Structure 1
Amino acid sequence: MKHEQGQNHPFWREPRATALLVLANGMVLEGTGFGAEDSAVGEVCFNTAMTGYQEILTDPSYAGQIVTFTFPHIGNVGTNDDDVETSNLAASASVRGIIVHAPVTGPSNHRASGELNAWLKARGIVGLCGVDTRALTAFIRQNGMPNAVIAHSPSGDFDVEALRDMARQWPGLEGMDLVPAVTAAQRYAWTQAAWRPGQGFRTVSDGRYNVVAIDYGIKRNILRLLTEAGCAVTVVPAETSAEAILSLRPDGVFLSNGPGDPAETGKYAVPVIQALIARDVPTFGICLGHQMLALAIGAKTMKMHQGHHGANHPVQDFTTGKVEIVSMNHGFSVDRLSLPANARETHRSLFDDSNCGLELTDHPAFSVQHHPEASPGPRDSHYLFARFVQMMETAKGAS
């Protein structure tokens, strides 16, 4: 923006942009860079959550994406070690970049142990601020989520044509399996329970229900709520065989969230899930896990126009008739018209009528598209963990 008093001075120069967002269609958005001094290609989406930016930026489901925050003040509460949702800390950062409207200020929160700019630099995440995020959000709503390159250079020197070519040559998320980059490298036990005032995150060493969680990009708070519900949780890598899972004698299996095209991940995940269903192992899936369960029973998934990313999405639970406000993060959805006869739709988005949940009528298995663990988001859907426990309890009684 030009300075009113100095714009006509012979030595005045328009400040150079230190960061760009270059879309595959040729559009270039200029602003000020922060975070990592680098360039990254990905799919641009927008997130409408007003809180929890650190949890969003550490959600493995955002692999391959550049997140535009519609809330203007991002970074003002700093960062801390408790709000990291990535369970596999050895994995590289999932999100490719962050776009915000207002410059990142110094932290002002009693929980802050660091500031966002340094936190992003340490994780190699490129930031761009000073952009009209409302206009970019409106563009995405009208045209869909574009492929783009986000670039930060303090010198302001950019090869825009090269960046544009990079955006155009990137194949996009359709047909891309990103789970191998975020899943656990080996099996491990999880013992941390939910945070409580005055106690923090407690350690629970036992549980009534033996649950195996298949890690497609699982978030920490999912594991905490499973532990809190009375589960002894063992996390296994995404490509673990059905035989290896069954050898752990699970009372139930959890199918986690994760990034990428579900049809690609399903090439190795679906046969495993089908084997578990055939053995009547109680199964609960969320997000990508929901899509994996749907594919395992013969349904189809499809790419969404703008996706669902936020913490204010209304979803109706047909089993109770209640409307929940939920946390969402997905760019693919289950085609509800493709659900087979043995699947009942349990949840549906009130934004666009897309499928948000199913349960099988002939096997103990159910799933939801949204994130019942929140982090960030409302806690309306925490009851789903109790529903999973009840399913395992029923199976125990019948055995």
Structure 2
Amino acid sequence: MEKLQAKLVLEDGTVFEGGSFGADMSAAGEVVFNTGMVGYPESLTDPSYYGQLLVLTYPLIGNYGIPENDFSVNSDYFESERIQVTGLVVSEKSTKYSHWQAVQSLSDWLKSAKVPAISGIDTRRLTRILREKGSMLGKILIDQDIEFYDPNHENIVKRVSPTEVTTSGKGTKRVALLDCGCKLSIIRLLLRRNVEVLRLPWDTDISQYKFDGLLISNGPGNPKECLQPIESARYAISNDIPTFGICLGNQIIALAAGADTYKLKYGHRGQNQPVMEQGTKRCIITSQNHGFAVNDDTIPAGWSPWFRNLNDGTNEGIIHESGRFMSVQFHPEAAPGPEDADFIFDKFIGMLK
């Protein structure tokens, strides 16, 4: 039996009633949906979901529990040091869990992190609404009513980026990682390729550091709010420093190059998004989590689209004619999802040699 009744209220007035299985508190944010079947520990700790109420479309969630809370780069189960979503929405929560590495239930984890969650609602109907009308603001109401909150009207990268410079790994090449809300799996894949990772806060003046290549990470919110990272990308490109962007990093590099970005109707969030490399027939299945995209029509001379989404035809990456500056909208590190695209890390590291 649910402890408390809960409501999910959308900005268009639609109301879903269910039960609370997370923290007994209300929360507001942008309501988005993810179509993945598994990977909820990774998704919930992905900083790109900051400020959002995450709807998981798979009907039963929580059956394999939560592993030990090791939030370091040495663990493969979490993408940051805490739950990043503002709230969670599911059709049915599993009352029991079973996995040899599980130490607690999803419900207990959410409660300890003070993140509200609602179950027992028709997520199929909810997803259809978001698909037809687009992502919209919403609020989970449990203890009291609150105002709607739009995370896209402010710079929320500063809320998920580290505040100190750190270095990890050893290698002859150094990658400066401009952390705009970086998933830990990006760092893990860099370290496995034997490079030194210089992890920098989002607003760092990168001209003060020496490095062989720049990687601009994923992160939450509107890319046009990221003024300092855009300047950092311009600096790297103008100084012929190999530069690679992932997700938000793709949008930042595009803006630095002179292209424009726009908000998608309901975004791409899932683990089965097909993309094709332009100029070839190479197709890969990718993990994605973004609500903004690059406008192909605004890509300047010297740059070209690199990948394209095969579901809706939107841009999934850009590359410079020199081959030294490139970015992808999807997540080559996966986590969760297929690893078809991790060769892109090798391509980037290869530019440093």
Q: Are 1:84 and 2:84 matched, yes or no?
A: no
Q: Is the 8 A contact 1:21 1:149 kept in 2?
A: yes
1:95 aligned residue: 85
Look up the equivalent residue of 1:345 and give its one-letter code.
P
Task: Find the aligned partners of 1:360 and 1:121 in 2 and give their Cα distance.
Answer: 46
Q: 1:141 pairs with 131, 135, 144, which one?
A: 131
Amino acid at match of 1:332: F
Residues 235 and 339 of structure 1: CA distance in aligned 2, closer, same or farther (over 3 Å): same
- Find 2:99's aligned residue among 105, 109, 127: 109
Report deviation, 1:281: 0.6
Determine which of 284, 290, 293 is the counterpart of 1:324: 284
Alpha-carbon distance in structure 2 between the residues aligned to 1:345 and 1:295: 14
1:259-270 to 2 correspondences below 5 Å: 259-265=220-226, 267-270=227-230
TM-score normalized by structure 1? Answer: 0.84
- For structure 2, the residue ranges without an aligned partner over 5 or more in a row are 70-74
| Letter aligned with residue 350 of structure 2 | Q
- 2:246 matched to 1:256? no
Once residues 46 and 152 of structure 2 are traced to their aligned partners in structure 1, the CA distance between those partners, rounded to angstroms, is 19
Partner of 1:221: 185
SS at structure 1 position matched to 2:200: strand
Name the counterpart of 2:197: 233
Percent identical across equivalent pairs? 39
Q: Distance in 2 between matches of 1:16 and 1:119?
A: 16
Q: 1:22 to 1:97 in 2, by over 3 A?
A: same
SS at structure 1 position matched to 2:196? strand
Structure 1 position 287 matched with structure 2 position 274: no
Aligned counterpart, 1:351: 311
Q: CA RMSD in A?
A: 1.7
Query: What is residue 360 of structure 1 aligned with on the other side?
Result: 320
1:123 has 2:87 as partner: no
Higher Cα Rg: structure 1 or 2? Answer: 1
CA distance in 2, matches of 1:239, 1:354: 29
CA distance in 1, matches of 2:314, 2:333: 20
Describe how 1:8-23 pairs up with structure 2 within 5 A. Answer: 18-23=5-10
Give me the whole-angstrom Cα distance separating, in 1, the residues matched to 2:142 and 2:94. Answer: 15
Q: 2:30 aligns with which of 43, 54, 63?
A: 43
Quote the offset at 1:152 in angstroms: 2.8
The CA deviation at 1:175 is 2.9
Q: Which 10-residue stretch deviates more, 362-371 or 342-351?
A: 362-371
Cα distance change of structure 1 residues 16 and 94 upon mapping to structure 2, 3 Å threshold: closer
Q: Deviations over 1:86-127 (max 9, x none)?
A: 1xx3xx742111111113322101121211111001111111
User: Residue 378 of structure 1 corresponds to which residue in structure 2?
Assistant: 338
**Is this contact kept in 1: 2:243–2:326, CA < 8 A?**
yes
Amino acid in the other structure paired with 1:129: S
Instruction: Provide the residue aligned with 2:174 in structure 1.
Output: 210
Deviations 1:263-294 (A, max 9, x none): 011x2211121111111111111000000000
- Please give the alpha-carbon distance, in whole angstroms, between the structure 2 residues aligned to 1:316 and 1:363: 18
Distance 1:319 1:25 in 2: 42
CA distance in 1, matches of 2:180, 2:201: 7
**Residue by residue, what CA displacement relative to the aligned partner does 1:118-170 show, whole Å, maximum 9, x if unpaired?**
100111111100011111001100001110111234xxxx5xxx44xx12xx3
Kept after mapping to 2: 8 A contact 1:344/1:361: yes
In the TM superposition, what whole-angstrom CA distance separates every residue of 1:51-93 from its partner, at most 9, and x where no partner exists?
100100000000111111111121111111341111xx3xx74
User: Contact 1:22–1:148 (CA<8 Å) still a contact in 2?
Assistant: yes
Structure 2 CA distance for aligned equivalents of residues 369 and 354 of structure 1? 10
Residue pair 1:315, 1:350 contacting (<8 A) in 2 also: yes
Q: Give the total of aligned pairs.
A: 346
Give distance in 1, aligned partners of 2:25 and 2:275: 38
- CA positional deviation for 1:375: 0.5
Q: 2:48: which partner in 1? A: 61
- The equivalent residue for 1:338 is 298
Alignment partner for residue 175 of structure 1, among 135, 143, 153?
Answer: 153
Change (3 A) 1:16 1:274: closer
- Residue type at the aligned position of 1:236: L
User: Quick one: structure 1 residues 59 and 24, their matched pair in 2 at CA, closer, same or farther if it must change by over 3 Å?
Assistant: same
CA contact (8 A) 2:175 2:213 kept: yes
CA distance in structure 2 between the aligned counterparts of 1:358 and 1:39, rounded to whole angstroms: 40
Q: State the partner residue of 1:25.
A: 12
Quote the offset at 1:230 in angstroms: 2.1
Q: Deviations over 1:209-263 (max 9, x none)?
A: 211100000011110001112211110100000322xx2x211111000001000
Task: Give the TM-score, by structure 2 length.
Answer: 0.94
**Alpha-carbon distance, 1:176 to partner:** 2.2
Please name the residue that 1:52 is paired with.
39
Which residue in 1 is equivalent to 2:72? none
Kept in 1, the 8 Å contact 2:3–2:21? The answer is no
Matched-pair contact (CA < 8 Å) for 2:4–2:142:
no
